[in-house]
């Protein structure tokens, strides 16, 4: 499959990723259970009357997509593809609360209508008055990867030239309570979290929205070339090296050709063993991690893709992300490896544009 270009990248996250000098201003978080996104002033982008009716994930995505399209110089993309693990959780919770509180009577449909997972892509299209292909992937931690794969296929097939691709997930109070009860989120007694050598299960939870314009041709704003993606739902620990080796072979590369590997260490001892195993395949590559900067959530890989784009464009690797001391003179190929709680493993290969 022919490579495509990531021509713009925008991200709202727990870091101040909408401003400049992103790689120089990254700040890790080890000591809280839940970290919230740094939100922009929505009044600058969304009319207040509309903003009041939007959930957090819709507002974050509207602003991030606006920045991505503006940077790429695109007014109307040929398609809008979004990936999300939890969708519009806030409106879902409000609707379910109304069902319980009102004993299933006199329900207003607004929260139900806005609770569907495809609300984000739909709202972006409404704002742009874009009537093109509009699709949402809901595949837990590989939602963005499926979205990028769809965009790559459409561009390869000549169906589109510039596609807006994004991922988004928000936090909600009740869901976070349930995650704490189920020990998905780390206990307070297990904090601060040691992301690389954790002896406890659970993660620090984050949120965010990342959007990219994926195009057929390289432009002045291009960050990276999206070479290939592979996704597998289940993977045994002893299959990790084969999974990675087969992917590299398919792309006519060896481990020595990979200048940097970005791994999704989350501080969950049970599932981080996959990343520890993957490190064995790359003794000569720069090994990086990122979830101490973003938190764990369904589409956290959007943050790693955004950071990888900046590393390739600026040819800088932030010290705060480094696992080992290996540094390359130039960074040409970056491999991203991610999963969520040991399921839905993905590999994304990016090359310098």
Question: How much is the pLDDT for 87?
Answer: 86
d(CA 211, CA 11): 6
Q: Is 113 helix (H, G, I), strand (E, B) or coil?
A: helix
Q: Give the C-alpha distances (Å, rounded to integers) separating 51 from 11, 48, 97, 122, 123.
A: 19, 5, 22, 15, 11
Most confident of 92-101, 285-294, 322-331: 285-294
What pTM, to 2 d.p., does this model score? 0.94
Residue with tokens 């390359």: 328
Question: How much is the pLDDT for 167?
Answer: 97
DSSP 8-class letter at 258 = -
d(CA 281, CA 258): 10
CA 344 to mean position of chain CA atoms: 14
What does the pLDDT average to over 331-342?
Answer: 97
Q: CB atoms < 10 A from the CB of 60, how many?
A: 28
Domains of the chain, each with CATH number or no CATH:
4-215 (3.40.47.10), 227-352 (3.40.47.10)
pLDDT exceeds 80 at position 111? no
Average pLDDT, the chain: 94
Question: How much is the pLDDT for 97?
Answer: 82
Q: Is 314 helix (H, G, I), strand (E, B) or coil?
A: helix
What does the pLDDT average to over 271-293?
Answer: 97
Question: How much is the pLDDT for 115?
Answer: 75
- Are 317 and 331 in contact, with CB atoms under 8 Å apart? yes
Residue with tokens 């965010």: 208
pLDDT exceeds 90 at position 104? no
Contacts of 27 by beta carbon, 8 Å cutoff, 6+ apart: 15, 293, 320
Where does the pLDDT of residue 117 fall: very low under 50, low under 70, confident under 90, or very high at 90 and above?
confident
Contacts of 178 by beta carbon, 8 Å cutoff, 6+ apart: none
Cβ burial, residue 105 (10 Å; 0-12/13-18/19+): exposed
Question: How much is the pLDDT for 94?
Answer: 81
- Are 121 and 82 in contact, with CB atoms under 8 Å apart? yes
Dihedral (Cα; 11, 352, 213, 344), 10-degree rounding: -70
What does the pLDDT average to over 211-226?
Answer: 96
- Are 161 and 76 in contact, with CB atoms under 8 Å apart? no
Where does the pLDDT of residue 101 fall: very low under 50, low under 70, confident under 90, or very high at 90 and above?
confident
- Are 336 and 305 in contact, with CB atoms under 8 Å apart? yes
What is the tens place of the pLDDT at every residue in 36-90? 999 999 988 888 888 888 889 999 999 999 999 999 999 999 999 999 999 888 8
- Are 231 and 25 in contact, with CB atoms under 8 Å apart? no
d(CA 321, CA 23): 10
pLDDT exceeds 80 at position 256? yes
What is the tens place of the pLDDT at every residue in 127-176? 999 999 999 999 999 999 999 999 999 999 999 999 999 999 999 999 99
What does the pLDDT average to over 346-351?
Answer: 98
d(CA 300, CA 22): 17
What does the pLDDT average to over 227-244?
Answer: 97
Where does the pLDDT of residue 259 fall: very low under 50, low under 70, confident under 90, or very high at 90 and above?
very high
Which range (106-115, 116-125, 254-263) has the least confidence?
106-115
> What counts of helices (H) and strands (E) characterise the chain?
11, 10
d(CA 313, CA 318): 13
Question: How much is the pLDDT for 160?
Answer: 96
Q: Give the C-alpha distances (Å, rounded to integers) separating 351 from 4, 225, 226, 333.
A: 10, 5, 7, 5
Give percent above pLDDT 90 in the chain: 84
Where does the pLDDT of residue 328 fall: very low under 50, low under 70, confident under 90, or very high at 90 and above?
confident
What does the pLDDT average to over 242-250?
Answer: 98
Question: How much is the pLDDT for 72?
Answer: 96
């Amino acid at each position: 499959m022919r490579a495509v270009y990531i021509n713009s990248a925008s991200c709202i996250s727990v870091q101040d990723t909408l401003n400049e000098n992103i790689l120089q201003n990254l700040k890790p978080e080890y000591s809280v259970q839940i970290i919230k996104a740094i939100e922009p002033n929505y009044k600058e982008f969304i009319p207040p009357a509309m903003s009041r009716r939007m959930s957090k994930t819709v507002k974050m995505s509207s602003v991030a997509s606006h920045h991505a399209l503006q940077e790429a110089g695109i007014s109307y993309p040929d398609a809008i593809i979004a990936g999300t693990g939890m969708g519009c959780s806030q409106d879902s919770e409000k609707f379910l609360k109304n069902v319980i509180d009102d004993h299933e009577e006199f329900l207003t449909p607004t929260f139900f209508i806005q609770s569907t997972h495809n609300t984000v892509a739909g709202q972006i299209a409404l704002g742009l008055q874009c009537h093109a292909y509009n699709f949402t992937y809901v595949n837990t931690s590989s939602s963005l990867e499926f979205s990028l794969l769809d965009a790559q296929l459409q561009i390869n097939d000549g169906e589109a030239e510039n596609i807006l691709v994004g991922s988004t997930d928000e936090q909600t109070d009740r869901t976070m309570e349930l995650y704490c009860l189920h020990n998905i989120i780390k206990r307070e007694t297990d904090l601060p979290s040691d992301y690389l050598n954790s002896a406890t299960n659970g993660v620090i939870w984050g949120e965010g929205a990342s959007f990219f314009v994926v195009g057929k041709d390289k432009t002045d704003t291009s960050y990276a070339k999206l070479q290939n993606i592979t996704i597998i739902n289940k993977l045994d620990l002893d299959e990790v090296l084969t999974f990675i080796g087969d992917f590299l072979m398919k792309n006519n590369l060896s481990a020595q050709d990979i200048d940097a590997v970005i791994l999704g260490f989350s501080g969950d001892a049970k599932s981080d063993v996959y990343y520890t195993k993957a490190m064995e395949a790359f003794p000569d590559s720069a090994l990086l991690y990122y979830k101490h900067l973003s938190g764990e959530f369904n589409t956290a890989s959007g943050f790693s893709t955004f950071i990888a784009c900046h590393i390739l464009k600026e040819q800088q690797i932030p010290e705060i992300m480094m696992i080992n001391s290996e540094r390359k003179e130039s960074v040409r190929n970056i491999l991203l490896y991610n999963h969520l709680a040991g399921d839905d493993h993905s590999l994304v290969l990016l090359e310098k544009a």
